[in-house]
Structure 1
Amino acid sequence: MKPELTLHQRTLTLTRFPVRKNETLQAWDAADEYLINHCHTIDIDPLRPILILNDNFGALSCWFANQAPVTTVTDSFITQQAIINNLNANNLPAATIIDCLAELPENPQLVLIKQPKNNRLLSWQLQQLCHLLPQDCVVITTGKAKEIHSSTLKLFEKYLGTTKTSLAVKKARLIFTTVNKSLAMPMPQPTSWTVPEHDLTMTNYANVFSSDSLDIGGRFLLDFIPSKPQYKDIIDLGCGNGVIGIKAARLNPHANVTGVDESFMAVASCRENAQLNLASTKNFNVMVANCLDDFNNQSADLVLCNPPFHQNNTITDHIAWQMFCDAQRVLRQNGELIIIGNRQLQYHEKLNRIFTKVDTIGHNDKFVVLRAIK
């Protein structure tokens, strides 16, 4: 796959993250191109901020970085790293990169939104923008035409202002919204719900997987979390709202438990849920990272994981594979990796390539729980 995006006599070299050998996917899509082409006709004030939301790998941030001060908002640590890398690779000015819970810059001239997969996050962001944006701010959203539904447009109308769409080009579409400050309303609070069979009360920010209930995979995995006195260090890899790590901490109060996720909203949810559900959080830590990049070799006894099988809108197993390889590296001798996955994903075949022993310790019609021993 060629990494060069060329438009309007200008070329950017863009790389997807995490970097993979023999990458078959490019770091931008037709929606990015459509938005860039449209904005080529807009007069941009070089001193007034441009605000970019949900840029996947930095195509939009890189394109506009030398035109005005750019602030990019993302919930993804991996996206942050991609944007920084791609800006540097193209010798472009630095952008200000913030997470979705941070305060937005004042008085932007232009807001560019890459439609997120999660409508809860989109609603959160539109409400945040309605409080902030001046009346003269231009707001343009881009996404795949098949994913822009009438219900999507109703969210823009409800939370931000009058909305219209473009014609589709290369299966992408633009959404144009005029800011209506009278629609501003109090920001929504994180959702909250209980898991009574495990005596847990959970809260989720907008972009956390399964925002208003415990997902069925996580619920099934809760019954297979072990309690052993020899566990000193436990990792909840891809922790989401932290339900797995919190249960592990309750079962192993003598152990240090660390929740890891690449989503800033997930980490914020996990941290709040630990405070809500644990008598003490002294041995419970949470961090944002790309898998286990920041962990030392042979530093954990147990890794628990409910791996994702998509990145943004792309179905892929490369994140799960990186999680498995990282867990193998980080586990001590005889350490255990316990994962849950859909039966058809055949994770045991991958685990058998890098672990000494792989057992099925639980299953139902939809899921299988596997334990791999180093």
Structure 2
Amino acid sequence: MNTEFLFADRQLSLIRYPQKHQHVSLQAWDSADELIIEYIENLQSESAVAITQDSPLAIYNDDFGTLGCWFSYLKPLWISDSYIATRSLKENLAGNALLDNASDHASFEPVTVLTSVQPLPLNSNQTPSVVVIKVPRALALLEQQLIDLQPYLTTQTRVIAAGKVKSITKSVLALFEKYIGETTTSLAKKKSRLIFSTPRQDKKQHTSPYPTRWECKGTSGVALTLDNLANVFSRQSLDIGARIMLEHMTVSSNDVVVDLGCGNGVLGVNALAIAPDCKVIFVDESYMALESARLNVLNNFPDKIGQCEFVASNCLENLIAREPRPKVTKVLCNPPFHQQNVITDHIAWQMFNDARELLMKSGHLVVVGNRHLDYHIKLKKLFGGAKVLASDKKFVILGTAKR
């Protein structure tokens, strides 16, 4: 993996967390980051903006912390829905000696880090002077972020977004026009471009359409009510993999279940429907996913919230690192096959490795996935084999036990 970021007479060493699982062809920055850096540095050199504590720089969706590291000297607000992005930022700040207090493992100072479900820590007298947004994969996430920003913007706030040319669609520009104001774009450079949006004077505060809500039937036939925040996978309906998993789930009351890559938590909530006395640990790298899962336990089984835990983690590493480890007997998994805009199988591979590490002896991993992904090959290498529990033309459920 290329880790040396050389730009504008400055060098940073930057990794994509977790570094050991990344393909050698990947890097932590892209040309959109370079366009943002160049533009804001020019604003600074021309004294065109005054970035202060009361008028800070706000950075959204910084994939692996490149912008947070570069602009750390400006003490920015840094907002992300991704635990992995947040962990990447921490590793990169530490790796470039940019932390104010390296001995404080919880601190990101001089960067103020916020999750996507936290409000900006600004009062009525404070407003961002510059807002930078990396255009995310999910338009719903972008829409939610623009709605969240509305109360904090003035006509003097500079709103700058960036992304690959192919990601800056008419739909993206329409969201900026709707929620911010007049919007233009730069010329393309290195297959990326900037978006400039000017907050309108007669701004109207919009109501968020999120979370979206729908119902589905669990294994026991009970109707489950599911809320989905903006960045949740398959936000508008039950995805096919989860549907087939619901039809074939088995859980007992003495199980400690991990819903790994939980999304809206439908598998874990269904586990509570099947076995009301089981314990469920919801794990995801998306803060909106974990909040959706929490809401959905409260929606359906509010008296069971004490049996549940919601953990932001890269796969299962934060549970594995605990002392003592939770005594997990079953891991349910519907693995993703992309990270940001990159298609990859390293996440599924780490999920399976981590499940093997965490599970109690004789504990079970149950995986659902597209047939063409050939998860049975990976599971055979790690567990010695896997059994087909159910299948259709497109998906297969595989089960395996830790020996």
TM-score (structure 2 length as normaliser) = 0.89
Check whether the contact 2:252–2:278 (CA below 8 A) recurs between aligned residues.
no
Question: What one-letter code is carried by the residue in structure 2 that aligns with 1:332?
Answer: M
Q: How does 1:152-171 map to 2 (within 5 A)?
A: 152-171=172-191
Which residue of 1 is the match for residue 25 of structure 2?
Answer: 24
Say whether residues 1:373 and 2:401 are aligned partners. Answer: yes
Select 1:129's aligned residue among 137, 146, 149.
Answer: 149
CA RMSD of aligned residues (A): 1.6
Q: Does 1:72 align with 2:100?
A: no
Query: Aligned pair in 2 of structure 1 residues 88, 46: CA closer, same or farther (>3 Å)?
Result: farther
Q: Distance in 2 between matches of 1:236 and 1:289?
A: 12
Task: Give the Cα separation in 1 of the matches to 2:2 and 2:211.
Answer: 41
Query: Could you tell me whether the CA contact under 8 Å between 1:130 and 1:180 is conserved in 2?
Result: no
Match of 2:366 in 1: 338
SS at match of 1:20: helix
Aligned to 1:58: 65
What do the CA deviations read for 1:223-278 (whole angstroms, capped 9, x no partner)? 1211335x431111111111000111221223211111111111111001001112
Contact 2:77–2:113 under 8 Å retained in 1? yes
Structure 1 residue aligned with 2:106: none
CA drift of 1:279 comes to 5.4
In structure 2, what is the equivalent of residue 114 of structure 1? 134
CA gap of 1:119–1:46, structure 2 versus 1, over 3 A, is closer
Q: Does 1:264 align with 2:292?
A: no
Structure 2 distance, partners of 1:208, 1:365, is: 26
How far apart, in 2, do the equivalents of 1:78 and 1:322 lie? 14
Other-structure match for 2:307: 283
Secondary structure at 1:333 match in 2: coil
Q: CA deviation at 1:20?
A: 1.6
Pairing 1:249-260 to 2, within 5 Å after superposition = 249-260=272-283
**Alpha-carbon distance between aligned partners in 2 of 1:179 and 1:91, rounded to the nearest angstrom:** 36
CA distance in 2, matches of 1:101, 1:279: 21
With over 3 angstroms needed to count, the CA separation of the structure-2 counterparts of 1:151 and 1:298, relative to structure 1, is closer
Among 200, 211, 224, the alignment partner of 1:190 is 211
Cα gap change, 1:170 to 1:198, in 2 (>3 Å): farther
Provide, for residues 119-156 of structure 1, a one-character-per-residue CA deviation record: whole Å limited to 9, x for no partner: 00111111111221121111110000011111211111
Greater CA drift, 209-218 or 317-326: 209-218
Letter in 2 for 1:74: S
Alignment of 1:209-228 (within 5 A): 209-228=233-252
Give me the whole-angstrom Cα distance separating, in 2, the residues matched to 1:254 and 1:126: 41
Distance (whole Å) between structure 1 residues aligned to residue 277 and residue 118 of structure 2: 35
Whether the 8 Å contact between 1:162 and 1:177 is mirrored in structure 2 is: yes
- Residues 140-186 of structure 1: per-residue CA shift (max 9 Å, x gap): 10000011111211111011110001111111011000012523223
The answer to whether structure 1 residue 103 and structure 2 residue 119 are counterparts is yes
Q: Residue type matched to 1:133 in 2?
A: L
Aligned to 1:320: 348
Post-superposition offset of 1:198: 4.3
Tell me the amino acid that sits aligned with residue 80 of structure 1: T
Counterpart of 1:204, as a letter, is: N
Contact 1:46 1:69 in 2 (8 A): no
**Which whole-Å CA distance do the structure 1 matches of 2:165 and 2:302 have between them?**
48
For 2:303 and 2:207, locate their aligned partners in 1 and report how far apart those are by CA, in whole Å.
32
Matched with 2:103 is: none
Please give the alpha-carbon distance, in whole angstroms, between the structure 2 residues aligned to 1:122 and 1:173: 17
The whole-number CA distance in structure 1 between the counterparts of 2:61 and 2:143 is 13
1:69 CA drift (Å): 2.0
The separation in 1 between residues aligned to 2:51 and 2:196, in whole angstroms, is 22
Distance 1:11 1:342 in 2: 42
Change (3 A) 1:302 1:46: same
3-state SS of the aligned residue for 2:294? helix
Larger mean Cα displacement after TM superposition, 69-78 or 43-52: 43-52
Runs of 4 or more above 4 Å deviation: none
Partner Cα separation in structure 2 for residue 356 and residue 255 of structure 1: 28
Unaligned 5+ residue runs, structure 1? none
Q: 1:45 aligns with which of 23, 33, 50?
A: 50
The residue aligned with 1:6 is: 6
Q: Cα offset for 1:46? A: 4.8
Helix, strand or coil: the match of 2:19? coil
The 8 Å contact of residues 60 and 78 in structure 2, kept in 1 or not, is answered as: yes
Measured against aligned partners, the alpha-carbon deviations of 1:70-100 in whole angstroms (never above 9, x if no partner) come to 0110001111111111112112252011011
SS of the residue 1:259 aligns to: strand
SS of residue in 1 equivalent to 2:225: strand
SS at match of 1:91: coil
Does 1:294 find its partner at 2:294? no
In 2, the alpha carbon distance for the partners of 1:334 and 1:218 equals 24
Do the aligned partners of 1:233 and 1:301 also contact (CA within 8 Å) in 2? Answer: yes
Q: Secondary structure of the residue that 1:135 maps to in structure 2?
A: coil
Identity of aligned residues (%): 42
Q: Give me the whole-angstrom Cα distance separating, in 1, the residues matched to 2:399 and 2:188.
A: 47
2:102 corresponding residue in structure 1: none
- Alignment CA distance shift 1:122-1:279 (3 Å): closer
